[in-house]
A and B are shown apart, each in its own frame.
Chain A
Amino acid sequence: MEEVLFELKNVKKVYRVGEVYVPALRDVSLKVERGAFIAIVGRSGSGKSTLLHILGCLDKPTEGDFYLDGENILEASENRLASIRNRKIGFVFQQFNLLPRMTALENVETPCIYAGVKRRERIERARKVLKKVGLEEERFFHYPSQLSGGQRQKVAIARALINDPAIILADEPTGSLDSRSGDEILKIFQRLNEEGRTIILVTHEQYVAEYAGRIIRLKDGYIEDEK
């Protein structure tokens, strides 16, 4: 039995820049089953990031319906959205988005602070996920500026994993990496998917999309095709 995790119905997203309205998503309907590995592809400006932000409850659609795990997200409060982002979803970005004045370990701990986890358990969990993504132990106390791109992205993935979320959303996670580190990162996503986590990956590189079980192609805010 396939369980539907995400359900978008006729979602539109319009940004307002001064007097001009910029449509980022025009009419998107989409269902994602639990445990899927999906790649979203398309040209730059086609609305991939916008779609991912909506799926990750960072932004609300201008129009349409959105259910996550059966919950109507359009009616959820700010605090509820924060809590969903904290526990159900892990975000990974192209520019890593680590906090520069914190060590790798402290960065990984951060979502746990907002989840109200005690310090000792936090550190224990952070070490575990850092090991899981394959960061060498001597790097744990390095600052982001002292790490390579691949290492930074590992830290970012560990941070996304620390509250053991069911969903990982990644926006061009290999976009800033050389192909070897990129492959390493993609292998991690593959493993996470095998553990049963739902992975949605935005990319514009064809070979990255090969990892996914399903590819959704966006064009000018529409879903152009799917396979």
Chain B
Amino acid sequence: MIVELIKIAFNNLGSNKLRSFLSMLGIIIGVSAVIAIISIGQGATYRIRSRVSSLGSGLIIVSPGFKGGKAGKVSTEVRDVFSLELAADLAKGSPDVEEVVPSINSGALLKYKDNNYQARMVATTPGYIRVLNCSVERGRFLLERDVEGFRKVAVIGQGVASELFPGEDPLGKKIIAYFGKRRLIFEVVGVLAHKGQMMFFNFDEQIYVPITTVMKRAAGKRYVDLYLIQAKDADKAESAAMEVEFLLTRKLKDPDLFRIRSQEEVIETVKQITSTMILMLAGIAGISLVVGGIGIMNIMLVSVTERTREIGIRKALGAKRSDILLQFLIEASVISFIGGVVGLFLGWIVSAVVSHFTGWPIIISPLSIVLAFGFSVGIGLIFGIYPARKAALLNPVEALRYE
């Protein structure tokens, strides 16, 4: 019986292909939107999380807080609080902290022969590559004696190396760096391995120099921009952050002067933002599914009216109400099921295209497939019931008289 009804459904849909397609369109768009949004969202989250954790685990960042911003004043970043001495105190005073790496970041124009390159200059200490999980490709990273001796040596990222020294070995070469109103000449002692983009900056486009050199030569700067802190291990990240917060509050006597962000916090925030976005977009996709369902209902109502006579004939031949009901329900679900299959493929194609351009992985979870299918067939059934019931309850004689 079901087999016959499915055959009848396909027969009817096939006899009016354009209309069947148009009535599927809503479901196709809805399902492909659900699939694409969920898979793109999951891909993005996955990518961001793997980026964040490529920094190594147990990273804590201490940066300046903001002052003012109340009573109409523009809030400004607090300056001049993080000294090198404070960094040493933090390292000593917190048992769960492995290492505290101070850093000053600024833009610098680099020059070598006729080549120049606008890079980000990171003035820091040798601990930097340990805390941020970088590795040296050639030469060496900064050493303690570079920091102690205010030496004018530099380590450069891959991008800097290829732009300034195309076809040349950068090791031992002298670079002129312009930053602020200063001009310094550094000798390149090492090149970092490729690491790439991380949140807002790119490790490959940076130049790394001893922090003391910049502080002394840039008009006696006494404070640094931020502290990168490595916890003893990943489990201790939270307690390390608390220790740092406690010590900083005691030393600086003002919790507004600094901000502490841990890597876990960043991951958590990213997760929250993306899941809220997915939820919102999925809501929109859900609405389009409902609109698709209404489209199906509309077509089914038209179909019932058009086929009133057919319904009368079938009843005269012995069809029960339930037979007619089932026939139209199956027709509605066939429309939405085909729409669901097409939508699934379309959604997959859309996420593949997005993934091609963004490099995010495609993650199509079985759950989202089940969800999309369940939804589309469910919607076919729900929005098919009213027209199908209308057909089933037709009076056979009236239906036979219908022209």
Q: Are A82 and B313 touching (Cβ within 8 A)?
A: no
- Contact among A56, A59, A82, A87 for B319, CB-based, below 8 A: A82
A83 to chain B: which residues have CB within 8 Å?
Answer: 318, 320
Segment at the interface with B among A106-114, A129-137, A173-181 = A106-114
- Contact among B12, B15, B316, B400 for A85, CB-based, below 8 A: B316
The answer, yes or no, to whether B135 is at the interface (CB within 8 Å) is: no
The answer, yes or no, to whether B321 is at the interface (CB within 8 Å) is: yes
The answer, yes or no, to whether A79 is at the interface (CB within 8 Å) is: yes
The answer, yes or no, to whether A12 is at the interface (CB within 8 Å) is: no
B317 to chain A: which residues have CB within 8 Å?
Answer: 85-86, 91, 110-111, 114, 159
- Contact among A53, A97, A159 for B309, CB-based, below 8 A: A97
CB proximity to B under 8 Å, residues A9-61: 53, 56, 58-59
The answer, yes or no, to whether B120 is at the interface (CB within 8 Å) is: no
Binary contact readout A174-203 vs B (1 if CB under 8 angstroms, 0 otherwise)? 000000000000000000000000000000
Q: Are B318 and A58 touching (Cβ within 8 A)?
A: no
Please, how many angstroms separate the alpha-carbon atoms of A116 and B11 in the complex?
A: 20
B15 to chain A: which residues have CB within 8 Å?
Answer: 101
Interface range on chain A (Cβ under 8 Å from partner): 20 to 34
B321 to chain A: which residues have CB within 8 Å?
Answer: 78-79, 82
Q: Are A99 and B320 touching (Cβ within 8 A)?
A: no
A102 to chain B: which residues have CB within 8 Å?
Answer: 11
The answer, yes or no, to whether B4 is at the interface (CB within 8 Å) is: yes
Pick from A53, A86, A113, A115 the residue with the most CB of B within 10 Å.
A113
A114 to chain B: which residues have CB within 8 Å?
Answer: 314, 317-320, 323
Question: How many chain-B residues does the 8 Å CB contact rule pick out?
Answer: 23
Q: Are A59 and B395 touching (Cβ within 8 A)?
A: yes
The answer, yes or no, to whether B396 is at the interface (CB within 8 Å) is: yes
Pick from B1, B4, B322 the residue with the most CB of A within 10 Å.
B4
The answer, yes or no, to whether B397 is at the interface (CB within 8 Å) is: yes
Task: Write 14 A-B pairs (CB below 8 A) sorted by A numbering.
Answer: A58-B400, A59-B396, A79-B320, A82-B318, A82-B320, A82-B321, A85-B317, A97-B309, A99-B313, A101-B12, A113-B4, A114-B320, A159-B317, A163-B318
Give the interface of B toward A (CB within 8 A): 1, 4, 11-12, 15, 309-310, 312-323, 395-397, 400
Please, how many angstroms separate the alpha-carbon atoms of A58 and B313 in the complex?
A: 11
> In the complex, how many angstroms separate the beta carbon of A219 from the nearest chain B beta carbon?
21
Please, how many angstroms separate the alpha-carbon atoms of A93 and B1 in the complex?
A: 26
Tell whether A58 pairs with B316 under 8 Å between CB atoms, given A82-B321, A97-B309, A114-B323.
yes
Closest to B11 in A: A101
B312 to chain A: which residues have CB within 8 Å?
Answer: 97
Kindly count the residue-residue contacts between A and B in the assembled complex, taking CB atoms under 8 Å apart.
61
Closest to A91 in B: B316
Please, how many angstroms separate the alpha-carbon atoms of A70 and B29 in the complex?
A: 58
Closest to B4 in A: A113
Pick from A83, A85, A163 the residue with the most CB of B within 10 Å.
A85
A85 to chain B: which residues have CB within 8 Å?
Answer: 315-318
**In the A-B complex, the 5 residue pairs with the closest CB atoms:** A86-B318, A82-B320, A111-B317, A114-B318, A59-B397
> In the complex, how many angstroms separate the beta carbon of A202 from the nearest chain B beta carbon?
14
- Contact among B314, B322, B397, B400 for A110, CB-based, below 8 A: B314
Please, how many angstroms separate the alpha-carbon atoms of A29 and B312 in the complex?
A: 27
Q: Are A58 and B397 touching (Cβ within 8 A)?
A: yes
Give the interface of A toward B (CB within 8 A): 53, 56, 58-59, 78-79, 82-83, 85-87, 91, 93, 97, 99, 101-102, 110-111, 113-116, 159, 163
Please, how many angstroms separate the alpha-carbon atoms of A59 and B400 in the complex?
A: 11
Closest to A100 in B: B310
A82 to chain B: which residues have CB within 8 Å?
Answer: 315, 318-321, 323
> In the complex, how many angstroms separate the beta carbon of B11 from the nearest chain A beta carbon?
6
Please, how many angstroms separate the alpha-carbon atoms of A176 and B160 in the complex?
A: 93
> In the complex, how many angstroms separate the beta carbon of A29 from the nearest chain B beta carbon?
21
Q: Are B316 and A97 touching (Cβ within 8 A)?
A: yes
A116 to chain B: which residues have CB within 8 Å?
Answer: 1
Q: Are B315 and A58 touching (Cβ within 8 A)?
A: yes
A79 to chain B: which residues have CB within 8 Å?
Answer: 320-322
Q: Are B320 and A58 touching (Cβ within 8 A)?
A: no
> In the complex, how many angstroms separate the beta carbon of B326 from the nearest chain A beta carbon?
11
B319 to chain A: which residues have CB within 8 Å?
Answer: 82, 86, 114
Please, how many angstroms separate the alpha-carbon atoms of A99 and B11 in the complex?
A: 12
Q: Are A113 and B1 touching (Cβ within 8 A)?
A: yes
Please, how many angstroms separate the alpha-carbon atoms of A90 and B239 in the complex?
A: 87
> In the complex, how many angstroms separate the beta carbon of B390 from the nearest chain A beta carbon?
15
> In the complex, how many angstroms separate the beta carbon of B315 from the nearest chain A beta carbon?
7
B397 to chain A: which residues have CB within 8 Å?
Answer: 53, 58-59
A59 to chain B: which residues have CB within 8 Å?
Answer: 395-397
Q: Are B318 and A115 touching (Cβ within 8 A)?
A: yes
B323 to chain A: which residues have CB within 8 Å?
Answer: 82, 114
> In the complex, how many angstroms separate the beta carbon of B314 from the nearest chain A beta carbon?
7
A163 to chain B: which residues have CB within 8 Å?
Answer: 318
Please, how many angstroms separate the alpha-carbon atoms of A114 and B320 in the complex?
A: 8
> In the complex, how many angstroms separate the beta carbon of B184 from the nearest chain A beta carbon?
86
> In the complex, how many angstroms separate the beta carbon of B340 from the nearest chain A beta carbon?
25
- Contact among A91, A93, A99 for B310, CB-based, below 8 A: A99
Closest to B314 in A: A110
Please, how many angstroms separate the alpha-carbon atoms of A87 and B319 in the complex?
A: 11
> In the complex, how many angstroms separate the beta carbon of A214 from the nearest chain B beta carbon?
24
B11 to chain A: which residues have CB within 8 Å?
Answer: 101-102
Please, how many angstroms separate the alpha-carbon atoms of A2 and B322 in the complex?
A: 37
B310 to chain A: which residues have CB within 8 Å?
Answer: 99
Q: Are A78 and B1 touching (Cβ within 8 A)?
A: no
Please, how many angstroms separate the alpha-carbon atoms of A100 and B101 in the complex?
A: 83
B322 to chain A: which residues have CB within 8 Å?
Answer: 79
Closest to A162 in B: B317
